[in-house]
Amino acid sequence: SQQGEEDPQALSIQEGENATMNCSYKTSINNLQWYRQNSGRGLVHLILIRSNEREKHSGRLRVTLDTSKKSSSLLITASRAADTASYFCATVPRYGNKLVFGAGTILRVKS
């Protein structure tokens, strides 16, 4: 079952622009994580934000979490062609023990 749902399903931008992806979820969570998947490869963990945190940064990545709206956003600043990939949010429900993934956003950065 999918807990998180990403929006948009696909995003195409020019190199240098910012990319914003959103994730909504249904139940209370312990933490929310973002992953990147290059075509045909495994997923790479990008960042984890806990339920008591509102914002987190890692390099060109900025993640926000709004638990009242049950939503999160991932911002990639100054995008590069190498950022072309699928991006997934994943949540750990508060009373669960498994990471549940959304369907992902496909990001294409044109050079």
Partner 1 sequence: DVKVTQSSRYLVKRTGEKVFLECVQDMDHENMFWYRQDPGLGLRLIYFSYDVKMKEKGDIPEGYSVSREKKERFSLILESASTNQTSMYLCASSREGWATYGYTFGSGTRLTVV
| Sites of contact with partner 1 (CB under 8 A) | 1-2, 30-31, 33, 35, 40-45, 48, 88, 92, 96-104
Q: How far is 17 from 110, CA to CA, in rounded Å?
A: 10
Looking at the Cβ atoms of 36 and 70, the one nearer to partner 1 is 36
Rg of the chain over Cα atoms, rounded to whole angstroms, equals 13
Looking at the Cβ atoms of 64 and 101, the one nearer to partner 1 is 101
Q: Are 6 and 21 in contact (CB under 8 A)?
A: yes
Looking at the Cβ atoms of 15 and 37, the one nearer to partner 1 is 37
Q: Are 92 and 31 in contact (CB under 8 A)?
A: yes
Q: How far is 95 from 78, CA to CA, in rounded Å?
A: 37
> Minimum distance between the CB of residue 51 and partner 1, rounded to whole angstroms?
12
> Minimum distance between the CB of residue 14 and partner 1, rounded to whole angstroms?
27
